[in-house]
Amino acid sequence: MSSFLTGFAAFTAGQAVMLAIGCGLLYLAVAREYEPMLLLPIGFGCILSNIPFSAAVGDHGPLTLLYNLGIVTELFPLLIFIAIGAMMDFGILLRNPRMFLFGGAAQFGIFFTVSVATLLGYDLKEAAAIGIIGAADGPTSIYVATRFARHLLAPISVAAYTYMALVPIIQPAVIRVLTTTAERRIRMPYREANLSRTVRIVFPVAVTVIAGLVAPISVAMVGFLMFGNLLRECGVTDRLAKASQNELANLVTILLGITIGSTMQAGAFLTRSTLTIILLGLVAFSFDTAGGVLFAKLMNLFLKEKINPMVGASGISAFPMSARVIHQLAQKEDPANFLLNHSISANVAGQIGSIIAGGLILALVK
């Protein structure tokens, strides 16, 4: 009986709070359907790691083993990049190449947040790991945080995935502040262009080589993403492409989520720094959206055929959620305005832009 009661006797208020947070993540995943594929395993991993004397964590715990094998080695995020690449159709971006610009402009929040975090007292590596939350790309956030600030991995990961889930709330609010009704009603014609199989095959190889030459430290991230896309586009590895899109993506998502959740232990998570990081994550997401919108408005000063500024906001990496949000906003303003193809193009560019931004941060911050 005494052994049975050991867990109750050791139960702390901090652990009770973390169990509540874990249950809160489960609620968001199940009841609200906010990123359920990620928030559900993260929330349950949080619960597992905050039960006193839990056999799931510790020196011989399976979640600790997964953390050492998959997170510390950066294996899980890289495998996710293969799956993402296999799911991505870059053709829609190649047909509308100026959308590449928004994939860069919408990363402004990353670098702005790095500056703010530094002013708040974080060292440069910690600030860089916090700023990358603005990439709106969970694997990139995990990859950079593992390199630069492993002790901040839990709040950075949770902030990244939570704000990705909240894109439908964050982006419309920022867009409405920065745009007029007339701007939100701008219509953009879409012109279809044929792409050869050769172009689709050359693109992932070219991006890998160019990004690698610019920032060699980014080769793992960019290369794994583009390898997944090459599996999709080459036309001779359909089984591998489908396995990457389904079995690989599902398995690694489960392992990554529950392992990240296991790092949310009360002693390390319930700190003032965690709250600060979560707030800075909101700053990063908001300024990413603002950067894309303002860049589109700047381009409109020189273009005869205007760009709807909302499309610039979809240059973040939260694919395809951001593209859908922008299209829905356009439909609310003008039911005859169809921005889906344009917003998807910018959103795909954001996927590439976020990984390149992560690579640049790894290269510049030493």
Q: pLDDT by residue (tens digit) across 310-328?
A: 999 999 888 888 999 999 9
What is the structure's pLDDT at 308? Answer: 94
- For residue 2, what pLDDT band results from cuts at 50, 70 and 90? very low
Asked whether residue 115 is domain-assigned, the answer is yes
**DSSP assignment string, 186-204:** -----------HHHHHHHH
Q: What is the mean pLDDT of the chain?
A: 90
- Portion of the chain with pLDDT greater than 90, in percent: 62
What is the structure's pLDDT at 163? Answer: 85
> Nearest 5°: CA angle at 345, between 342 and 350?
125
Query: What are the backbone angles phi and psi of residue 231, rounded to the nearest 5°?
Result: -60, -35
Q: What is the pLDDT of residues 190-237, one digit of tens each?
A: 777 678 889 999 999 999 999 888 888 889 999 999 999 999 999 999
Asked whether residue 155 is domain-assigned, the answer is yes
- Number of separate helices (H) and strands (E) present in the chain: 22, 0
Asked whether residue 35 is domain-assigned, the answer is yes
What is the structure's pLDDT at 215? Answer: 81
Q: What is the pLDDT of residues 121-131, one digit of tens each?
A: 999 999 999 99
What is the structure's pLDDT at 11? Answer: 84
Q: What is the pLDDT of residues 249-262, one digit of tens each?
A: 999 999 999 999 99
pLDDT(346) > 60:
yes
Look at 112-116, 191-195, 279-283, 351-355 and tell me which has the smallest mean pLDDT. Answer: 191-195
Asked whether residue 5 is domain-assigned, the answer is no
What is the structure's pLDDT at 5? Answer: 65
How many domains does the chain contain in total?
A: 1
Asked whether residue 161 is domain-assigned, the answer is yes
Asked whether residue 1 is domain-assigned, the answer is no
pLDDT(118) > 90:
yes
pLDDT(184) > 60:
yes
Q: What is the pLDDT of residues 69-110, one digit of tens each?
A: 999 998 999 999 999 999 988 888 888 888 889 998 999 999
Q: What is the pLDDT of residues 262-275, one digit of tens each?
A: 999 998 888 899 99
Asked whether residue 7 is domain-assigned, the answer is no
Asked whether residue 227 is domain-assigned, the answer is yes
What is the structure's pLDDT at 359? Answer: 85
In whole angstroms, how far apart are CA 263 and each of 14, 63, 319? 14, 9, 26
What is the structure's pLDDT at 124? Answer: 94
Taking residues 332-353, report their average pLDDT. 90
The CA distance from 214 to 211, in Å, is 5
The answer to whether the CB of 111 falls within 8 A of the CB of 127 is no
Q: What is the pLDDT of residues 152-179, one digit of tens each?
A: 998 998 888 888 888 888 999 999 999 9
Peptide bond into 320 cis (omega under 30): yes
Domain that holds residue 160: 12-364
What is the structure's pLDDT at 78? Answer: 93
| pTM, rounded to two decimals | 0.87
- For residue 34, what pLDDT band results from cuts at 50, 70 and 90? confident
